[in-house]
Structure 1
Amino acid sequence: MNVKELNSSENIVVEDCSAGGGRCARGDGLRWEFSEATVANDLKADRLDWTEPETFRQAELVKENALRRVWRVQVGGKEYYAKYYYRNGRRWKVKRFLRGPECIKEWRVARYAFEHGVDCVRPVSYAVARGGTGRLDCLLITESIRKAIPLNDYWESLRGFGVSEYQNRISELEDSLAELLAKAHQSGISHSDLHPGNLLVEVLESCRPRVCLVDLQSVRIGKDVSDREAIYNLAQLNQWFRLNATLTQRMRLLKRYMEYRCAMAGDEGSRWGQGTFKHWAKMMEDAAYQHAAKLMASRDRRTMRRTKYFEFLRLGHHWQGHFFLKTKHPLEYSPASGMEFRAKDWRKAFKDPQAVMERFAGESLPLKKSSGTLICRGMLTLGDKSVSVVIKRQVNKSFLGMIRNCFRKSRAIRAWKAGYAMIHRGMAVAKPLAVLERRIGPVVFETMLVTEEVKPSTNLRAFMMNTLGEIPVEKRGEFKSVITEQLATLMRKMDFNGFTHRDMKGVNILLQNMTFEYKGQPAKDIRVIVIDLDALKIDGRKTERDQLRAIVRLSYCVDYSEYVTRTDRARFLKAYLTQFGSGRPDWKKLWRKIAVERNQGK
């Protein structure tokens, strides 16, 4: 047996497989390997059926997808995590043939990490299914780390402390995380799926917290980690920190990482010295942008596929469409995003889409009605859940329009994709729940777009005309400040990501948690949400004139209120132009351009 020391109080023993030690075979068709001979008794591998963990008395499903499941189980008074790998499709067969069982890769990665002093989960056993008929391919069992929680949960738990204690604990966490990543990269360990869910924080009483790597199947070992690869690894983690940490905290983490790399690299550590900080910060900024674009594009493609989050259904009368099922990260402003729907409930609700529109139109006055467009709102029942929705139906009456739609996506599909693209990039829009088309072959005759109704809310134009004047004078400035900041941030994000709203007027911007009549609502609860997804357009070649037109349309809205001053307009332009590294904004130049555009439009 080869014994490697983990730390002062823990050892791992890996048995020599060639000697046959630690193996256990039983009627469930699994071939086992154990880190120690005593582990077989601890896991009761000869008595329990590990192929069915749901039959254990104390078992909880922690994570699940098409290829893997993770269970938390208790056996013999000890807690373990059992990770199950399943067979799935031709692509899996090719990977299995080339790489072998995935559990063995994690096993080897953990051994390599412990040999190089990198903290990670401790595997105690793995098993490979004998025969290729069942769905289960292999499983890996790791010890549970006491008092350990994912990094994102630990970060949130610190917000309850006082300012001084919070800063101290954040500093300790940053130091532990920087040391772990520096040691991993210096040892030739690169985690290709580095996010807070794959980092566990173990709370220790007498010293700083210990950070451990998990989900080792995404780890590459044995090769030097290049500087570019190391920076890209940090950029992956920065994707979460960008939304949950301050710029100072992110830069401090990078500095500490550089200090550890410099100390560990010896003579070669000069390239990580303090004088190179700006160079690495710029590299990480570029890498973070590339990673974010790649991640967002992957999420965008998912909206048009059959996954556990979305479903594609063919209905009667030549109708077909895409439907929302659930999401991993619910939106604060969207109650429907926290619900889980079933495909059969969508199929039942839209068995006859035309009947749904007729019922909605009969229950309340349409929001809009024209020769080709009908917008109605109502309550949609999906199984045991009810959702307040807005449905926009468009009939294609133009023969030329039908021909054009044979060679491009319909307007409703483009709105569906653009809406989710904005959500994925952190912009608030009315959540799309379903999109339907009535088509015969390539010809689309009519479409329906179902979005969640934003309640309670009022549009920006009504707020300016009526509500703002009802707010007490001493609170009016706070409301204007909150709305100005959110609008400026929204417009800035749209410009950065290449989005254009061709009808950016006040009635298409809703203020959630605000009503037509002021009823004492606090300003901090207001959220700016964009509607009319049909007018959204994704165009990376967006020009300065496109940006200007959106601001000009928005500027007409504030003309309705006598309580919006020239100072308020200037504050909006300053907030819109100000971003990290932008310097002092030249808002006067933009002001003059807006004035010229408004005069030309009259």
Structure 2
Amino acid sequence: MLADLFHKLATLTRPTGLPVVRDGRHVWRVSPAGAAVFGRDGPQLTRWVADGLAVVVKANPARTVYRVELPAATVFVKHCRITGPRAWAREWIRPPKARLEFDNATTLRMRGVPAIEPLAWGSNDTRWPGESYLITRGVAAVPFLDFLETEYAALPPAGQRATGQQLTVALAEFFARLHDAGIAHPDPHPGNLLLEMPACRVPRLTLLDLHAVRLGPPLSWHKSRANLALFNRFFQLRAGRPERARFWHHYRRTRASLPLASPAELRAQARELEAETHASNLHLWAKREGRWLGSNRTLRRVKRGDVRGLAVRDVPDYALRSLLENPDAVFAQPGTRVLKDSKTSTVAAFELPSPAGPVPVVLKRVNVRSAAEPLKNFVRRSAVVRSWVNGHTLRDRGLPTPRPLAVFQRYRRGLPAEGYLLTEVVPDAVPLDAAPGAALPRDVLVDLARTLRAMHDRGVSHRDLKASNVLLGRGRDPVLIDLVGVRTVAAIGVARRAKELARLNASFLAAAAVTRGERLRFLLAYLGAGPAFQVGWKSWWELVSRATADKVARNRRVGRALG
């Protein structure tokens, strides 16, 4: 904060040296490269928008990004807004976001780091803090995250391996150069990188979102590790250990300013990085859990009559209007397929209208079972709200579960009564215990074991891990459902893990096709999918067997069937 204040004071006393151009209500500071693109009249944002030259490529409450095709070049305009009192107060302490990004991009390029080329920055013609604008030159690149989710995902396995190795080396060398240049990006996730993949297949990366980068001397190992942990958060969930090890070795080999380290020291530093990344992810996930309970750039509040709740912003209002007016009507309308109808809940599949056409969805209604339940829902989160939060929490952790689209409740006398949860459909799903042939194929068994190991390693306890609460999407991809009892903690102990594996094991006690060999193969896949435990597989087998027997005995005492 003090650095921002000093920077603000410096900008008030030190002229930028850039020519000032006015465009109606905007005041622009234009770089020499920008003057060659815009001419002597400077940027004409108002006219570009009015004439339809400015095409929106990204929009949210905090910013809008336009692409503008000009005769001299393609440019991008980032329109930064103030979204609340805190942001407004921050603008008094620091320079406008657009100026910070303009100055930092200029500095990065001077230090030899690939960054966007700034052409101009502007603000409204007023002394009060407010909106600001950054104009940069367009490049023949795509957002790195978009590339991973589209082009890379469409490659055959051999192409993914080759391209993945090229990207790993390019990323390692890029961050080594960044840290040797004394630059730490506070949010170095793939969405803040642009990727060019030329015909020579040597990736070129460009850094984005530069308003908060820190500049200084080459980063020490402590600071490098902290910054790499932020970057590694994304890849620890999606890239295997061999790929992360390849990144680490190339990064360490390229770093010129760090002292040489022995092989043992390199291994120790790699373990430190993985541990700090995991701790950073746990902190991030815990911090994000509260955001699923209020309106923000991802969610909006919805209300109609005595029904109110939350919905993701990409579900249009008209798609939810009739659903909010009478949620119960869906279960009786033509075309609806009722999947479950019991005293506690009703589940149905139907199609929801969307701009791209009808989208298959699932609506779950949780019934009121007693007169006291609305009061309980008022003093603690209801079952549908817990399922809603837990669904988003699991997806944050990269765990497979249907995406929650909306949650709402009917209020009676001011108290939340029946609850409704709307989710996406799992394509071609079958429950795990209803999979064809009773015995699972070996690759499905291994995938399921790895999914459950990832769930536990990421601090998630399902607490009702029976076979009917695991679906196989397209007949083979494990998907977790019925998340009302999920708990998230910093670490899941061995006893809790064994108890959850035992609950799943109990679902298959009557399945003759699931042999002891299959159960052992599943356990070994679970144990091998992450760091080794101090307890060996034989001890694990005993723990799971004992917990399974306890579960069977408990259900027999209360007369409940194993599901």
In the alignment, is the contact (CA less than 8 A) between 1:53 and 1:71 conserved in 2?
no
Deviation of 1:198 (Å): 1.9
Match of 1:22 in 2: 19
* Closer/same/farther in 2, CA of residues 536 and 163 from structure 1, 3 Å limit: closer
Structure 2: how far apart are the matches of 1:382 and 1:148? 34
1:417 to 2:389 alignment: yes
* Closer/same/farther in 2, CA of residues 200 and 500 from structure 1, 3 Å limit: closer
In the alignment, is the contact (CA less than 8 A) between 2:402 and 2:426 conserved in 1?
yes
Structure 2 residue corresponding to 1:350, chosen from 321, 324, 335: 324
Tell me the amino acid that sits aligned with residue 22 of structure 1: P
* Closer/same/farther in 2, CA of residues 273 and 74 from structure 1, 3 Å limit: farther
Structure 2 residue corresponding to 1:438, chosen from 410, 415, 418: 410
Match of 2:7 in 1: none
Matched residue SS, 2:450: helix
Match of 1:582 in 2: 532
Match of 1:591 in 2: 541
In the alignment, is the contact (CA less than 8 A) between 2:352 and 2:361 conserved in 1?
no
Deviation of 1:578 (Å): 1.6
Matched residue SS, 2:182: coil
In the alignment, is the contact (CA less than 8 A) between 1:56 and 1:73 conserved in 2?
no
1:320 to 2:270 alignment: no
Tell me the amino acid that sits aligned with residue 274 of structure 2: E
Match of 1:252 in 2: 246
Deviation of 1:576 (Å): 1.4
Structure 1: how far apart are the matches of 2:520 and 2:117? 58
* Closer/same/farther in 2, CA of residues 555 and 583 from structure 1, 3 Å limit: closer
Deviation of 1:570 (Å): 0.8
Matched residue SS, 2:109: helix
Match of 1:523 in 2: none
Match of 1:280 in 2: 269
Structure 2: runs of 5 or more not aligned: 1-12, 554-563
CA shift digits 1:32-55 (9 cap, x unpaired)? 22221x743521462763135444
Deviation of 1:417 (Å): 0.9
Match of 1:179 in 2: 173
In the alignment, is the contact (CA less than 8 A) between 2:457 and 2:491 conserved in 1?
no
Structure 2: how far apart are the matches of 1:167 and 1:541? 32
Matched residue SS, 1:433: strand
Tell me the amino acid that sits aligned with residue 437 of structure 2: L
* Closer/same/farther in 2, CA of residues 45 and 137 from structure 1, 3 Å limit: farther
Match of 1:396 in 2: 368
Match of 1:139 in 2: 133
* Closer/same/farther in 2, CA of residues 209 and 414 from structure 1, 3 Å limit: closer
Deviation of 1:172 (Å): 5.3
The root-mean-square deviation of aligned C-alpha atoms, in Å, is 3.4
Match of 1:468 in 2: 437
Match of 1:3 in 2: none
Match of 2:5 in 1: none
In the alignment, is the contact (CA less than 8 A) between 1:396 and 1:444 conserved in 2?
no
Match of 1:289 in 2: 278
Matched residue SS, 1:314: strand
Structure 2: how far apart are the matches of 1:374 and 1:208? 55
Match of 1:517 in 2: none
Q: What does 1:56-67 align with in structure 2 at a 5 Å threshold?
A: 58-67=53-62
CA shift digits 1:17-45 (9 cap, x unpaired)? 9597632223x222222221x74352146
In the alignment, is the contact (CA less than 8 A) between 2:282 and 2:490 conserved in 1?
no
Match of 1:473 in 2: none
Structure 1: how far apart are the matches of 2:347 and 2:147? 44
Matched residue SS, 1:117: coil
1:377 to 2:348 alignment: yes
Deviation of 1:442 (Å): 6.8
Give the percent of matched residue pairs that are identical in Structure 1 and Structure 2.
Answer: 26
Given the two structures, how large is their TM-score scaled by the length of structure 2? 0.84
Deviation of 1:104 (Å): 1.4
Structure 2 residue corresponding to 1:499, chosen from 448, 452, 460: 460
Match of 1:485 in 2: 446
Match of 1:86 in 2: 81
* Closer/same/farther in 2, CA of residues 71 and 579 from structure 1, 3 Å limit: same
Matched residue SS, 1:468: coil
Matched residue SS, 2:45: coil
In the alignment, is the contact (CA less than 8 A) between 2:408 and 2:420 conserved in 1?
yes
In the alignment, is the contact (CA less than 8 A) between 1:412 and 1:534 conserved in 2?
yes
1:304 to 2:293 alignment: yes
Structure 1: runs of 5 or more not aligned: 1-15, 327-340, 470-475, 515-525
Structure 2: how far apart are the matches of 1:39 and 1:376? 58
Structure 2 residue corresponding to 1:530, chosen from 480, 491, 499: 480
Structure 1: how far apart are the matches of 2:164 and 2:195? 12
Structure 1: how far apart are the matches of 2:491 and 2:216? 43
